[in-house]
């Protein structure tokens, strides 16, 4: 008998697509129920959205003013309390899930499985270690609650629309700490598709040369309807903000098309894109490691090739 | 204020690790070991807080076998005042590490615990959060900026949506992200000085912490290889190939 509680991630009143990806992983356990837990200051719209996701049995809501922002210290005791009736607690392995889930696991006194790539059985999972250079099979203790984060790049988002799961308000008697306070969010938001859910991503690296030059990456991305990413080198050099970083220490993505431009392909970057459908590399150094994993490689000066690409795209 | 810094030893980030052919582990014999890069950043931040007069003492903490002492000396050479070596021959998982840290925190009463956001071997990203939960204190993970004043820390965090700022009352646990700082290099005279700095050695079992495996690792495998790609000669050929695959 397994029952899974999936923690919903949301921002600005919208459900993040990572929630539906975590639901996919939960469904793979073949449980008796998959319930989604929405913690927010205003739950109605979020709950309605979550109820539509295929595979969701029930949506549980906790509406409190303290839940306006995703503060782990505030959310974790509520999640731990709600987890009492469940065999598994799943959350997406985004910065949100990575922040809050280990806090929940520790409150429950159990280990956590980070970055679940595949579900082998209800207590056996595969996860990457050493920057994705080894994949381990781990077994969680069957007598404990399984607390796990789901590697979003490994799971498609469960489709939404056909389902209409019941929504229930959950009454949790939990005292919340006041020692942690939200101050603000400086978002690098743009009209471009979101990096983590985009089907196409164009990334630039150190080879782009400057913040100003990065405009040609943005222009190409816009022409393709793609999200923009960057290597750590480009972020460290100040060409783009850090929320665009792709790699072990940034975002791990799996778009259908990934174009790496002026990126040599350090191990930590490759970790972030290994699951992309098709990888294109454009680099002036024909020996760059990125060509070892690229499906299509083009050696040459990016400042010459990008205008040619735009022309060929029409 | 006293700051405790977690200082884990891992396979150097430049090493291309090999999975053993029988699936029992990765090859670590004769492989270069170094400080976890995020822990160097955590230590650097602690030293800067001491240099600003906010902290008086910086203590590095390592959990591992007897030869970990040499690793802790590196932390002392970088500038930590003293070290605590929690000895065990077992592999230590995050929950065990967090429980051990809790015992040290209760004894040392630090104002701040600084850890790396994740270790680059197990990539778990759990220990700091677990310690904060067990300690019932605030956490500020993925920190790229830390300002301390009036008994609280204002921390900028690198989150998927951008940069989030939170305020936490001290004592608290902060985990470092890459952009928090640039760690300093160790100078030769400091290596000499580090030899006379104290290292307290305490057995993990004597802290009352059980190192028993919480997760059993049953198999190691190399990741699936991508099939060999093709080189195209120009932009037009690339666009044609992508169109043929239905990607454009």
- Assign B136 a pLDDT band (cuts: 50, 70, 90): very high
Pair type for strands B82-87 and B199-203: parallel
Q: Per residue in A20-48, pLDDT tens?
A: 999 999 999 999 999 999 999 999 999 99
Share of chain A above pLDDT 70, in %: 100
- Is 80 exceeded by the pLDDT of residue A188? no
CA distance B93 to chain A (A): 8
Mean pLDDT value across residues B115-133: 97
B24: distance to nearest CA of chain A, Å? 10
Report pLDDT for B226. 86
Measure CB to CB from residue B160 to each of A104, A196, A312 and give the nearest one. A196
Mean pLDDT of B77-90: 97
- Rounded CA-CA distance A217/A202 in Å is 7
Interchain proximity B129–A232, CB inside 8 Å:
no
Instruction: List chain A residues with CB under 8 Å of B11.
Output: 130
Average pLDDT for A178-195: 90
Give pLDDT tens digits for A51-76.
999 999 999 999 999 999 999 999 99
Tell me: the pLDDT tens digits for A198-213? 999 999 999 999 999 9
Query: Helices (H) and strands (E) in chain A — how many of each?
Result: 9, 18
Residue B89 pLDDT class (50, 70, 90 cuts): very high
CA A121 from chain centre, in angstroms, equals: 23
Alpha-carbon distance of B226 to A14, in angstroms, equals: 35
A188 to B220: CB separation less than 8 angstroms, yes or no: no
Whole-angstrom Cα distance, residue B185 to residue B74? 10
Structure-block tokens of residue A152: 């979003």
Cβ of A279 within 8 Å of Cβ of B144? The answer is no
**What pLDDT is stored for residue B228 in this prediction?**
83
- Distances, alpha carbon A102 to alpha carbons A90, A98, B46, B178, B240, in Å: 11, 7, 24, 20, 47
Alpha carbon distance, N-terminus to C-terminus of chain A: 56
**Token pair of A268, please?**
């930590």
Q: Is A137 within 8 Å of B221 when comparing Cβ atoms?
A: yes
Summarize pLDDT for B1-11 with one digit per residue, the tens. 999 999 999 99
Among A72, A224, A305, the residue with its CB nearest the CB of B139 is A72
* Residue A85, min C-alpha distance to chain B (Å): 21
A83 in helix, strand or coil? helix
Confidence tier at A18 by pLDDT (50, 70, 90) = very high
Cβ contact, residue pair A130, B239, below 8 Å = no
**What is the C-alpha to C-alpha distance for residues B79 and B242, in angstroms, rounded to an integer?**
54
Taking an 8 Å cut-off on Cβ atoms, the answer to whether A136 and B241 are in contact is no
- On chain A, the residues whose CB falls within 8 A of the CB of B167 are 180-181, 183
Strands A124-129 and A134-140 come out as antiparallel
ipTM above 0.90, yes or no: yes
C-alpha to C-alpha distances, A259 to A224, A242, A300, B129, nearest whole angstrom? 11, 19, 14, 35
**Chain B residues with CB-CB distance to A71 below 8 A:** 166
Instruction: Please provide the average confidence, as pLDDT, over all residues in chain B.
Output: 96
Closest CB to B223 among A133, A188, A296: A133
B29 or A80: which leads in pLDDT: A80
Residues of A in contact with B241 (CB under 8 A): 296
Model pLDDT, residue B180: 97
Q: Which residues have C-beta within 8 Å of that of residue B85, sequence separation ≥ 6?
A: B62, B64, B68, B69, B72, B199, B200, B201, B202
- Cα A163 to chain centroid distance, Å, stands at 23
Confidence of residue A187 (pLDDT cuts 50, 70, 90): confident
For testing contact with chain B, the best of A94, A102, A124, A254 (most B CBs within 10 A): A102
Question: How far apart are the CA of A252 and the nearest CA of chain B, in angstroms?
Answer: 11
Substitution target in B16, B25, B34, B123 with the highest count of A β-carbons within 10 Å is: B123
Distance from C-alpha of B116 to C-alpha of B137, rounded to nearest angstrom: 17
Strand partners, A147: A89, A112
Q: What is the pTM of this model?
A: 0.95
Helices (H), chain B: 37-51, 68-78, 94-108, 127-135, 188-194, 235-244
Cβ within 8 Å, pair A133-B154: no
Q: Is the pLDDT of residue B177 over 80?
A: yes
Q: Which tokens in the block code for residue A248?
A: 């072990």
Q: Are the C-beta atoms of residues A239 and A204 closer than 8 Å to each other?
A: yes
């Amino acid at each position: 008998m397994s029952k899974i509680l999936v923690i919903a991630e949301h921002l600005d009143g919208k459900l993040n697509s990572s929630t539906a990806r975590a639901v996919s992983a939960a469904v793979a356990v073949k449980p008796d129920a998959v319930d989604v837990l929405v913690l927010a200051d205003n739950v109605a719209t979020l709950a309605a959205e979550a109820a539509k996701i295929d595979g969701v049995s029930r949506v549980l809501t906790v509406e409190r003013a303290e839940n306006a922002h995703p503060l782990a210290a505030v959310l974790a005791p509520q999640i731990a309390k709600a987890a009492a009736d469940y065999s598994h607690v799943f959350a997406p392995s985004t910065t949100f899930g990575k922040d809050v889930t280990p806090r929940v696991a520790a409150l429950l006194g159990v280990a956590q499985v980070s970055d679940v790539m595949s579900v082998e059985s209800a207590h056996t999972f595969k996860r990457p270690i050493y920057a994705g250079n080894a994949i381990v099979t781990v077994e969680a203790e069957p007598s404990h609650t399984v607390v796990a984060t789901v590697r979003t790049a490994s799971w498609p988002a469960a489709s939404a629309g056909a389902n209409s799961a019941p929504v229930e308000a959950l009454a949790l008697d939990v005292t919340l700490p006041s020692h942690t306070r939200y101050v603000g969010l400086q978002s690098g938001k743009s009209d471009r598709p979101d990096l983590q859910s985009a089907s196409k991503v164009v990334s630039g690296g150190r080879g782009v040369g400057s913040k100003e030059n990065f405009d040609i990456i943005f222009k190409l991305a816009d022409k393709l309807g793609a999200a923009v990413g960057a290597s750590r080198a480009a972020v460290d050099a100040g060409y783009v903000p850090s929320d665009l970083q792709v790699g072990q220490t940034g975002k791990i993505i799996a778009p259908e098309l990934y174009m790496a431009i002026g990126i040599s392909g350090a191990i930590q970057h490759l970790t972030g894109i290994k699951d992309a459908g098709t990888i294109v590399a454009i680099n002036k150094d024909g020996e760059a490691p990125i060509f070892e994993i690229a499906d299509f490689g083009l050696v040459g000066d990016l400042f010459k090739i990008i205008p040619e690409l735009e022309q060929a795209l029409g | 204020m006293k700051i405790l810094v977690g200082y884990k030893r891992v396979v150097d980030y430049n090493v291309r690790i090999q999975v053993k052919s029988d699936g029992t582990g990765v090859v670590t014999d004769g492989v270069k070991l170094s400080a976890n890069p995020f822990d160097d950043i955590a230590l650097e931040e602690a030293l800067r807080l001491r240099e600003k007069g906010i902290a008086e003492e910086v203590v590095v903490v390592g959990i591992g076998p007897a030869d970990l002492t040499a690793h802790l000396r590196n932390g002392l050479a970088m500038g930590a005042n003293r070290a605590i070596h929690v000895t065990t021959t077992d592999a230590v998982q995050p929950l065990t590490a967090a429980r051990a840290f809790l015992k040290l925190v209760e004894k040392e009463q630090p104002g701040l615990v600084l850890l790396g956001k994740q270790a680059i071997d197990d990539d778990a990203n759990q220990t700091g959060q677990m310690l904060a939960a067990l300690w019932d204190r605030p956490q500020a993970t993925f920190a790229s900026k830390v300002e301390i004043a009036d008994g609280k820390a204002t921390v900028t965090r690198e989150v998927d949506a951008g940069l989030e700022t939170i305020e936490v009352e001290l004592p608290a646990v902060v985990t470092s992200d890459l952009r928090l700082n640039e760690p300093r290099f160790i100078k030769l005279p400091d290596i000499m000085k580090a030899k006379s700095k104290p290292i307290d050695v305490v057995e993990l079992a004597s802290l009352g912490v059980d190192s028993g495996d919480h997760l059993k690792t049953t198999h190691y495998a190399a990741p699936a290889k991508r099939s060999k790609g093709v080189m195209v000669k120009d932009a037009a050929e690339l666009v044609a190939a992508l169109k043929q695959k239905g990607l454009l």
